[in-house]
A and B are shown apart, each in its own frame.
Chain A
Amino acid sequence: MSQSDQFSGRMGLIFASIGAAIGTGNIWRFPRMVGANEGGTFLIPWLIFLFAWSIPLVIAEFALGKRSRTGTIGTFRIFAGKHFAWMGLWTAWISTAIGFYYAVVAGWCLKYFQLGVSNGLVGENVDTQLVWNEFLQSPGSVIFFQFLVIAITLLAIWKGAKAIEKVNVILMISLFVLLFMSLGLSLWMDMADGSLDGFLFMFTVKWSSLSEPSIWINGLSQSAWSCSAGMGMAITYSVYMRKDEDTTLNAFTMGLANNSISIIAGLTVLSAIFAVSDNPLDTVTNGSSAITFLALPEVFAQAPGGGIGAWVMMSGFFLALSFAALTSMISTVELCVRNFVDHGYEREKSVLLTSIAILIFGIPSAMLWITIAPDGTAFPQFLEVQDHIWGYGLMFSGLFIAFTIWKYGYKKWRAHVESGEAAPGLSGYLGVGVSAFRDDFINTGDNDIWIGRWWDLLMYLAFPFLFTILIVSYFGDMITNTPNVWHPTNPHGITIILLFWGVVAGGFILLNKKLIQRPLFRNIPEGADVDISMLPGGDDDLVCEVGEYPAGWEHLAEKTEA
């Protein structure tokens, strides 16, 4: 019997990857970014970068994972080469480190769903700031909901791909329904005062602002973050793909679905706020995640239909938010678990270990250093610092994926030059090297959408350019606006980021050698054979399929059977 695992069908994969992509970023970050970046003006860069950044990267991820049939570490080990397995470890670590505090954030959403259901946010005496501050300052409560999130996640992924699929399908469909319901109520609210301000604002381009770099940079980062492009999610889920799965169509579907949800959520939030608030822009732009938990309950409490409307709006919206967070949490844990399983660890053990780790390492974010901002709103500064440190690590995960593709193209071109099939000059490289990955792994015949030369252009030219812009503007902004930016104990400084990144990357590079001494078990569903010799890492004796054991590692099989 094969020990491999796979999704039951195409829809399973689609829903799982959409679930991974859609998270709190779509529902609370997107409306805020639209508000802060001149409304409709923001939609232009945001849409362009969906096609110029997110989808191409996701295509690459799907193509990589589908062939390697391993998690991030294995994928980099096979595709980028033995010496670069640490890149996969980095990718896994960034996702997991974000997962530490993301579980806490998902817990907030659950808590607000509970408050919404129990009518804890409606009424004359409810001060939403007070509710939020009290909640955040009671560690027991925060950790309880964090635990709840992790427990649900653990149950969802315990049994592997099929269970993940089922949970995602249910949660995503519910999310669509709930969001549409909320949108309806929102638009109703906004219409009540005679004008669709929220709609007008969200879809009006201020042409003079279109030349402002900050809007483009924010459009790019929103697109990169909310789609989870480069995070390794798509690599992980494509391990469970069936043989003839189409990587490109999946990528387009995932990206477009992600943005669809963003628009619906954006319209819901903006319409509601513009309907009620005296200065809606203030409400939308002035803050961070806390806005979701302060402003929206206030706004939703004024939903049409009296108490019932408010109840439906409140619980519906926060349930949708919780679902979005949960599905992202599931993919985060699965990404980590997959890497353990690839290296011969039992699935149940790995799930348990990862969940416990996420619980324990999330606790500091849940309870440490809860600070009151000048406007009186509590915020978790420890969590914020974690986000500050690890958030931009995602950029490098994306860079590593691009690197893998560049490297594959270069190697293939060199091989062809040696065998006389390609010209040694630039023209040879452009002819064979640049398109190598696309020719060999994307346009395989299984794909409904044929990917043209534009993808090469984006991966080789646009990606490094945009990557540089993002990194330079992020750090440049920090240097100009943060006092004491180089001081190592400044939690908002640069040194602390570079220090953590340096230690992590350095440690991973040092440990690379040990990592590649372990066997790597590829999850290849029946009929989906991809011969390892076709892949760059074909000379790695320790790479085998699930159920096989390389020489010297037979004891693992005994252990499994025992």
Chain B
Amino acid sequence: MSFESRQSSLAILLLPFLLSFLSPMVSASVEQSEIAAEEQTDMEPWDQWDQDDEGKYIFCEYNSEGNAECDYLFPWGGDEQMQFKEYHSYETMKARMLRLAADNSEFMQFHEGLNGGTNARGEQTTSNNYEGWYYGHGSPWLKITGNVEGGVTNTFNGDSGNYPDRPDVMIVGNHHAREWMSYETPLLVMETIAYYYGKGPIDNDGDGLIDEDPWGDADGDGQIDDDGDCLSLAAEWQDSNGDGKPCNPGDFGVDEDFSEVELTNLVNNREIYLIPMLNVDGNKYDREVWVGNNCDGGEAWENGCATSGWRKNLRDNTVTGVTPIPDPDEAVDPACDGVDLNRNYQFEWGAPLGATGPLFPGMCYAGEAGPNNDVYNGPVDTTDQDDDGRLNEDHVDGKDDDGDGLLDEDWMGGNSEPETKFIQDLTEMNDDDGDGSSDYKTTLTYHSFSELVLYPWGHCTNCQSPDHEQLIYHGDQMATMTDYTNMQSSDLYPTSGDFCDWHYGVHGSYCYTMEIGTAFHQHQDDVDHIAVRNIGVAFYMAEMADNPRERADLALANVWRNQILEQPSQLVIPASGSIPVEMCLDTAFSIDYADSASHVMYRMVKPSRSQSDYGPGEWFSEDWSSVGFESADDDCELLNSSGTGYKIVAYLPIEDTANGKLHYKAMISTLSGTQKVEYPQNSQYYEIKIDYRAPFGSLFGSVMLFMTVAVFVWGGLGVCLRMMMVDPDEVKYLDDVSDAILDAELSEEDSS
């Protein structure tokens, strides 16, 4: 009995020692990955991106043959569809959009179709006019902008969050029903915004660097994988998307650590209209009917279906949709029905280029037209819009064809479909600044497939638009970002009545068609990496929406490249007072001096006041502040011998007593609308060490404090030691001394 008791007591007293075994074990698990990252080259994905850590970029598992298979891992978690391992259906897509809009109501708003009213052409519409012919759904869309519940409410379109000073961006997917990647990619854009909006700089890929690998080639070294983490993988892993090119867009580790700050800034400074699935009717039909009828019971990408499928909407061509003549069976006639939405826009509508015009209005002639029926551009207009007794005499082409002083007022056709009407009215009824022209400075539509970036025109060959150079410039940027080919739309094949010709031709919007992926019904294993490859384009389009023409002009003239923000090595820190930061700007860049438009952002990073005793140095970052520029009334040399520019300067109010690191970056805007171009780019910043500049103290003050401390501490110690030496009976007076010390202390505490 007592023996047992003694044993257990020993155990009790030893327990602390045993417990501390635990701590090495817990900490050691973290240790391994760190060491791995330090020493290995030719790494496996799971060494590079720790698959056990939550939200860390990839997920790997071993298949039945023991080989590792890795997939993208998106930090928002969720099911296969939310992880882009499976296609969304219209229903699951809409459910997800509703969920995200509800959860992120401060910057996302869900809508379907439009409310209607009197549109820009004086037509009366209701929400019914924007619902698909057959299934009757309006296209679901999200309005994405900071404080989306504020701003002006547009009663026709139904959205709030309209701000005159925020450029608008339209991103449209799935004109063509079978091009499934074209709506998955906008959905990834949506998930990305919903997850990362408002988050501070995040190390997305868990490599210890933050925002070091944004979309595109950030550091200008020609390498898309800016941080080289894809390149440091073993060769077998470098081409994870299997397109034959190692470490190009879409592969693991390429453009995976973009700037959340930039994303948030974009959402706060743009109105993004995200319409992932324009052609709901056609998409439902393709998924629910066409695949079942044509793919021998396989999936949509099997049995030869990958590159076929239903393309158009579901207009009932049997009776040309003209009521009251009844359609005898009300079923979709796949040999006849439908309009190609991307041939139905009004600009230069009906030109017989890559589109089929109706031989006889109201006839279905699938037999005669053969495959061209797939690009049927809709019925010819039968209304005399201007009531002048002549029909369709002034076609939508930007010219006054009939010389009556009115432009494009009596069109031949086009915009006959609910889906294209939706786009047209969403565009024309959204005029926040009231200048009568479209707010959509940039527009983007995703299509499949061919791996191309297409810019207008589409309706004419051997022709150039007025913005040809600028369109090529931006197209090249996006082609670099995706490793796709940039070309004029009509150089692929001529098309009339497409989305981009209309947006550019009628509204001057810089419009691009991304032909993404390698199939219509792309295999579902390819969903994630194709979507990843193409979301950067959406953010690029949003960024340049302030003034795409000027951005391209300045870029083509190398103005961006030649302008200078003083680098840390060039900065002159005065012995005291504010620190001047200069920029040298090209005269072509007419800076807007308003503090809100152009400024230097800065913050101090100071050593943390309470450092870990044994760990590395810890730092504390202040919040960013900003200070405006003023003219320095001086000339300066631009970079690359490009001539003389003008100097501007901002004075950073850094205290003389500040000690630590100064972070700074400039954001400059032009008077003509280009907003907040960053120096340096990609939400990076410069860092410079700031030494303590103030005097360390005055002799008098320090001697006074020294005396005080010395009296308290050394004096007190002396008193104590003396008390120990003397007879205890003689120390009464020392009581008083020590009490006096304490009283003084306490009163000092009170007064402070």
> Is B323 in contact with chain A by the CB < 8 A criterion?
no
- Tell me the complex Cα distance, A552–B6, Å: 12
Stretch at the interface among A152-160, A164-172, A193-201, A415-423: A193-201
For B702, the chain A residues whose CB sits under 8 A away are 40, 199-200, 202-204
Cβ B717 vs Cβ A256 within 8 A: yes
A518 CA / B5 CA spacing, docked (Å): 8
Whether B699 and A200, one on each chain, are in contact in the complex, defined by CB atoms closer than 8 angstroms, is: yes
> What is the distance, in angstroms, from A420's C-beta to the closest C-beta of chain B?
34
> Which of A47, A289, A361 touches B20 (beta carbons < 8 Å)?
A361
Shortest C-beta distance, A489 to chain B (Å), equals: 6
In the complex, the chain B residue whose C-beta lies closest to that of A500 is B23
Q: Verify B746–A32 contact, CB threshold 8 A.
A: no
User: Is the CB of B331 closer than 8 A to any CB of chain A?
Assistant: no
> A553 on the interface (CB 8 Å rule)?
yes
B325 contacts the other chain (Cβ, under 8 Å)?
no
Tell me which of A280-288, A317-325, A429-437, A533-541 binds B. Answer: A280-288
Closest partner residue, chain B, to A208 (CB atom): B657
Complex contacts, A62 vs chain B, CB 8 Å: none
B575 contacts the other chain (CB 8 A): no
* Stretch among A93-101, A113-121, A302-310 lining the B interface: A93-101
**Chain A contact residues, majority secondary structure:** helix
Contact with B along A357-386 (1 / 0, CB 8 A): 100010010001101111101011111111
The answer on a CB contact under 8 Å between B12 and A511 is yes
The answer to whether residues A205 and B701 also contact, given A48-B749, A285-B659, A286-B617 and a CB cut-off of 8 A, is yes
CB-contact partner of A249 in B657, B723, B742, under 8 A? B723
- Asked if A511 and B15 make an inter-chain contact with CB atoms under 8 angstroms apart, the answer reads yes
Report the separation of the CA atoms of residues A496 and B24 in the bound assembly, to the nearest whole angstrom.
12
In the assembled complex, A523 has its CB within 8 A of some CB on chain B: no
Q: Look across to chain B and name the residue whose beta carbon is closest to the beta carbon of A363.
A: B24
Known: A288-B616, A386-B23, A452-B739. A256 touches B720 (CB 8 A): yes
Chain A residues whose CB sits within 8 angstroms of the CB of B720 once the complex forms: 249, 252-253, 256
Judge whether A388 and B612 touch: CB under 8 Å.
yes
Q: How far is the CB of A390 from chain B (nearest CB, A)?
A: 9
Q: Are A515 and B9 also in contact (CB < 8 A) when A288-B611, A449-B735 are?
A: yes
Q: Which segment, of B116-124, B275-283, B690-698, faces chain A? A: B690-698
A355 on the B face (CB < 8 A): no
A252 to B702, CA, bound (A): 26
Contact A215 B609 (CB under 8 A): yes
In the assembled complex, A218 has its CB within 8 A of some CB on chain B: yes
The count of A-to-B residue pairs whose CB atoms sit within 8 angstroms is 245
Q: B27, B610, B617, B749: which contacts A382 (Cβ < 8 A)?
A: B27
Q: Choose from B616, B703, B735 the contact partner of A377 (Cβ within 8 Å).
A: B616
A371 and B614 within 8 A (CB): no
Q: Which of B15, B697, B713 contacts A200 (CB 8 A)?
A: B697
Say if the beta carbon of A504 comes within 8 Å of chain B.
Answer: yes
Which one of B27, B29, B614, B713 lies within 8 Å of A379 (CB-CB)? B614
Residues of A within 8 A of B692 (CB): 279, 281-282
Spot the interface stretch: B134-142, B406-414, B704-712.
B704-712
Q: Which residues of B contact A79 (CB under 8 A)?
A: none
B705 lies within 8 A of A40 (CB):
yes
CB pair B724 A500 closer than 8 Å: no
> Which chain B residues numbered 628 to 648 have a C-beta less than 8 Å away from chain A?
none
- The answer, among B2, B6, B696, for a CB contact under 8 Å with A201, is B696
Question: A43 to B717, Cβ gap below 8 A?
Answer: no
- Whole-angstrom distance between the Cβ of A291 and the nearest chain B Cβ: 8
- Return the contact of B30 from the options A339, A489, A508 (Cβ within 8 A): A489
**Which residues on B sit within 8 Å (CB–CB) of A381?**
27, 31, 615
Residue of B nearest to A356 (CB): B17
B residues in contact with A69, CB < 8 Å: none
Is A340 located at the chain interface by the 8 A CB criterion? Answer: yes
Interfacial chain B residues near A105, Cβ < 8 Å? 614
User: How distant is A524 from chain B, measured CB to nearest CB, in Å?
Assistant: 22
Q: Is A144 part of the contact surface with B, judged by Cβ < 8 Å?
A: no
Interface residues in A373-431 (C-beta closer than 8 Å to B): 373-375, 377, 379-389, 391
Interface residue? A31 (CB, 8 A): no
Contact A200-B17, Cβ < 8 Å, known A260-B713, A449-B738: no
Nearest residue (CB) in B for A262 is: B713
Would A43 and B705 count as touching, CB distance under 8 A?
yes
Question: Are A259 and B19 interface neighbours, CB within 8 A?
Answer: no
Distance in Å: Cβ of B370 to nearest Cβ of chain A: 61
- Taken together as a complex, chains A and B put the C-alpha atoms of A200 and B713 apart, in Å, by 19
Chain B, range 676-693, C-beta contacts under 8 Å to A: 689, 691-692
Number of interface residues of A (CB under 8 A): 110
- Provide the residues of chain A in CB contact with B657, threshold 8 Å: 206
Q: Among A204, A274, A343, A504, which residue has the most Cβ atoms of chain B within 10 A?
A: A204
The answer to whether the Cβ of A491 comes within 8 Å of any Cβ in the partner chain is yes
With A249-B720, A515-B12 as given contacts, are A47 and B659 in contact (CB-CB < 8 Å)?
Answer: no
Q: How far is the CA of A281 from the CA of B657 in the complex (A)?
A: 10
Cβ contact within 8 Å between A44 and B752: yes
* B24 touches which of A10, A200, A364, A384 (Cβ 8 Å): A364
Chain B binding surface, main DSSP class: helix
Is the Cβ of B609 less than 8 Å from the Cβ of A259? no
Instruction: Convert A30-53 into 0s and 1s, putting 1 for each residue whose CB lies closer than 8 angstroms to a CB of B.
Output: 001000110110011001100110
Is B717 touching A552 in the complex (CB atoms < 8 A)?
Answer: no
Which residues between 371 and 412 of chain B lie within 8 Å of chain A, taking CB atoms? Answer: none
Contact of A487 among B28, B54, B706, B713 (CB under 8 A): B54
- Evaluate contact between B5 and A517: CB separation under 8 angstroms: yes
- B716 interface hit (Cβ, 8 Å): yes
Cα distance A276–B717 when bound, in Å?
A: 32
Do the beta carbons of B697 and A384 come within 8 Å of each other? no
Is B16 engaged at the interface, CB distance under 8 Å to the other chain? yes
Residue in contact with B659 in the complex, picked from A259, A282, A369, CB distance below 8 Å: A282
A130 in the interface (beta carbon within 8 A): no
CB distance from B573 to the nearest CB of A (A): 12
Nearest A residue to B741, CB-CB:
A51
Taking A97-B20, A252-B716 as contacts, is the C-beta distance between A368 and B9 under 8 angstroms?
no
Residues of A within 8 A of B31 (CB): 368-369, 381-382
Across the interface, do A39 and B697 meet the contact criterion of CB distance under 8 Å?
Answer: yes
Instruction: Please give, as numbers and ranges, the residues of chain A lying within 8 Å of B326 by CB-CB distance.
Output: none
**Chain B residues whose CB sits within 8 angstroms of the CB of A364 once the complex forms:** 23-24
B614 touches A256 (CB 8 A): no
Q: Are B724 and A10 in contact (CB under 8 A)?
A: yes
CB <8 Å contact, A201 and B713: no
Residue contact A203 to B15, C-beta cutoff 8 Å: no
Restricting to B6-40, which residues have a CB under 8 Å from any CB of A? Answer: 6, 8-9, 12-13, 15-17, 19-20, 22-24, 26-31, 34, 38
A-B pairs with beta carbons under 8 Å apart, 24 shown: A36-B610, A44-B752, A47-B712, A51-B741, A200-B698, A201-B696, A203-B703, A204-B696, A210-B752, A252-B716, A256-B717, A279-B689, A279-B691, A357-B17, A364-B23, A369-B27, A379-B616, A385-B27, A386-B23, A487-B54, A490-B30, A511-B15, A514-B9, A553-B2
The 7 closest A-B CB pairs, nearest first, are A204-B697, A373-B616, A203-B702, A200-B697, A256-B717, A93-B16, A285-B607
Which residues from chain A sit less than 8 Å from chain B, CB to CB? 10-11, 14, 29, 32, 36-37, 39-40, 43-44, 47-48, 51-52, 89, 92-93, 96-97, 100-101, 105, 197, 199-206, 210, 214-215, 217-218, 221, 246, 249, 252-253, 256-257, 259-260, 263, 274, 278-279, 281-282, 285-290, 339-340, 343, 357, 361, 364, 368-369, 371-375, 377, 379-389, 391, 448-450, 452, 454, 477, 481, 484, 487, 489-491, 496, 500, 503-504, 507-508, 511, 514-515, 517-518, 552-553, 555
- 16 new A-B pairs (CB below 8 Å) besides A381-B31, A384-B614? A43-B705, A51-B745, A52-B749, A92-B16, A204-B701, A215-B609, A217-B610, A256-B713, A259-B713, A260-B714, A281-B691, A343-B9, A368-B28, A374-B616, A500-B19, A514-B8
B interface, CB within 8 angstroms of A: 2, 5-6, 8-9, 12-13, 15-17, 19-20, 22-24, 26-31, 34, 38, 54, 607-617, 620, 657, 659, 689, 691-692, 695-699, 701-706, 709-710, 712-714, 716-717, 720-721, 723-724, 728, 731, 734-735, 738-739, 741-742, 745-746, 748-749, 752
